């Protein structure tokens, strides 16, 4: 005799994730529409993306190019879906990204940005991009070092088929709200500096916060949180 909502249907976890975001915004004293939800669907089947779309979700994030292209083909009837590429990007894989995505969050060097701009089809609006910052200075992690963000941003802002929207980071895991907030605060500060440096650029996006640190990111001004596990459940180990 149980009437507990089972997570088999996405409805429950999706509502929970949205409520969690709304509560975090309220607790931070921010407007309820102050941050958007990016559903990170890597490793999850197209059928789950379709289910989330039916629940009203429109923005989806993918990490692996071939997997993403396969799912996009399967979901091509969902005309208003917005695809974000959030994974590491090699320079020989930029063309399909330029052709099939609306956003790229993981720009960390000029060469990638130049190729995306050159390869963005004429009939599409400019590709929205965020610079990925290695905000915790981790040796083996992708992302431009904080000291180099300004120079990269200045160069990217001149590329005709890109629109520089902001910054993204995946901080080193930390325990507790105080420790989690520090790198997010640093990323926000970097964005503020870029905004005064590049007043013409549409720098309105702080892509930060995942399932484990959403609240800290919202407290520090995140405008786009990237939730995978909290919406779709744990990802398989293999």
Contacts with ligand PLP, residue ranges (CB under 6 A): 40, 42, 63, 86, 170, 210-212, 226-230
H or E segment to which residue 226 belongs: strand 224-227
CB nearer to ligand PLP: give 171 or 228: 228
- Report d(CA 137, CA 112) in Å as an integer: 21
Residue 62: its H or E element: strand 59-62
Q: What residues are paired with 84 via a beta bridge?
A: 61, 103
Pairwise CA distance, residues 179 & 157, whole Å: 32
In the complex with ligand PLP, which residue's Cβ is closer, 118 or 138? 138
- With both helix axes pointing from N to C terminus, report the angle between 149-156 and 177-197 in degrees, rounded to the nearest 10: 50
Q: Min. distance of Cβ 123 from ligand PLP in angstroms?
A: 29
The first and second tokens of residue 158, run together, are 């001149």
Measured CA to CA, the distance from residue 7 to residue 190 in angstroms comes to 39
Closest approach, Cβ 180 to ligand PLP, in A, equals 13
Nearer to ligand PLP by C-beta: 64 or 197?
64
| Shortest-Cβ-distance residue relative to ligand PLP | 228
> Cβ closer to ligand PLP: 58 or 161?
58
| Beta carbon nearer to ligand PLP, 30 or 42 | 42
CB of 229 to ligand PLP, least distance (A): 3
């Amino acid at each position: 005799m149980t009437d507990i909502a089972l997570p088999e249907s996405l409805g429950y976890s999706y509502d929970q994730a949205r409520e969690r975001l709304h509560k975090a915004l309220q607790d931070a004293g921010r407007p309820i529409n102050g941050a958007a939800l990016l559903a990170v669907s890597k490793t999850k089947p197209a059928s789950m993306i379709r289910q989330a779309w039916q629940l009203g979700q429109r923005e989806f994030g993918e990490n692996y190019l071939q997997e993403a292209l396969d799912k996009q083909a399967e979901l091509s009837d969902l005309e208003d879906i917005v695809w974000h590429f959030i994974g590491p990007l090699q320079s020989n894989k930029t063309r399909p990204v330029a052709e099939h995505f609306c956003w790229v969050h993981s720009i960390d060097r000029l060469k990638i940005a130049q190729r995306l701009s050159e390869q963005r089809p004429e009939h599409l609006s400019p590709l929205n991009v965020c610079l990925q910052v290695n905000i915790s200075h981790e040796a083996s992690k992708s992302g431009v070092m904080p000291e180099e963000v300004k120079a990269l941003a200045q160069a990217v802002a001149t590329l005709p088929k890109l629109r520089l929207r902001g910054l993204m980071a995946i901080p080193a895991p930390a325990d507790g709200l105080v420790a989690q907030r520090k790198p997010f605060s640093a990323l926000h500060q970097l964005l503020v500096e870029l905004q005064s440096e590049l007043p013409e650029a549409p720098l309105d996006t702080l892509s930060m916060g995942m399932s484990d640190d959403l609240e800290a990111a919202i407290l520090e001004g995140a405008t786009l949180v990237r939730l995978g596990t909290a919406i779709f459940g744990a990802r398989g180990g293999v």
